[in-house]
Amino acid sequence: MEMPPTTSTAHIQDVILRIFGPNPKDSSARHLYLNYLSPAITTSSLTYINEEGAGQKHSDLCHYSQAVVLGNIVKCAGQGGWTETGDLDANNINGQVDLAFANVDKVLRATGLRGWEDVYSIRSYHVDIDSSFDYCVRKLKDRIPNHRPI
């Protein structure tokens, strides 16, 4: 069931209570509640960010944003190892990792954050993990030596 953007929080709570009752017993019900409740609360306060260069180019071509600010939380789209113009060198794995780290930093700074030192969570995807994982870990240690994100 998709909620329209103008749905009030009270209406969403009422719908959830009618579906699951006052005390949902399983976590999927609570998860569903949070997924539907959050958009109603935050839709009016979303700020979408696209840094100049490849970020804006990807936004224009693919209709997505590089980051969204939700109150005091920033969520970033996946950042690849592309150049300012959006080009990718498929033969240079370490170069792609370097650029991906730089691109994350650019997006974070475009939102007003300090960069990597404000990162609390990382999700990393690798085409060939054997050739990129160790280098990626070194880059993490270089970029954020004072904490270990989840």
pLDDT value at residue 90: 85
Torsion of CA 100, 73, 6, 26, to 10 degrees: 100
Q: Is residue 70 part of a domain?
A: yes
The parts of the chain modelled with pLDDT lower than 70 are 1-44
Under 8 Å between Cβ of 3 and 38: no
Q: Is residue 120 part of a domain?
A: yes
Q: Is residue 131 part of a domain?
A: yes
Q: Is residue 92 part of a domain?
A: yes
pLDDT value at residue 86: 87
Q: Is residue 14 part of a domain?
A: no
Q: Is residue 56 part of a domain?
A: yes
Q: Is residue 123 part of a domain?
A: yes
Task: Provide the number of structural domains found in the chain.
Answer: 1
Give me 69's structure tokens. 């600010």
Strands of the sheet with 46-49, listed across from one edge: 46-49, 67-70, 73-76
pLDDT value at residue 27: 43
CATH code for the domain of 132: 3.30.1330.40
Q: Is residue 100 part of a domain?
A: yes
pLDDT value at residue 65: 95
Domain range spanning residue 76? Answer: 45-144
DSSP tag of 2: P
pLDDT value at residue 126: 87
User: Which residues, including other chains, have CB under 8 Å from residue 138's CB and lie 6 or more apart?
Assistant: none
To 5 degrees, how large is the angle CA 99–CA 116–CA 143?
A: 70
Instruction: List phi, psi (to 5°) of 76.
Output: -105, 145
What's the CA gap between 82 and 93, in Å, rounded? 11
What's the CA gap between 133 and 114, in Å, rounded? 25
pLDDT value at residue 103: 95
To 5 degrees, how large is the angle CA 84–CA 132–CA 85?
A: 10
pLDDT tens per residue across span 27-63: 444 444 444 445 554 456 899 999 999 999 989 999 9
- Count of alpha carbons within 13 angstroms of residue 71, beta-carbon side: 4
Q: What percent of the chain is predicted at pLDDT more than 70?
A: 71
3-state SS of 76-99 is ECCCCCECCCCCECCCCHHHHHHH
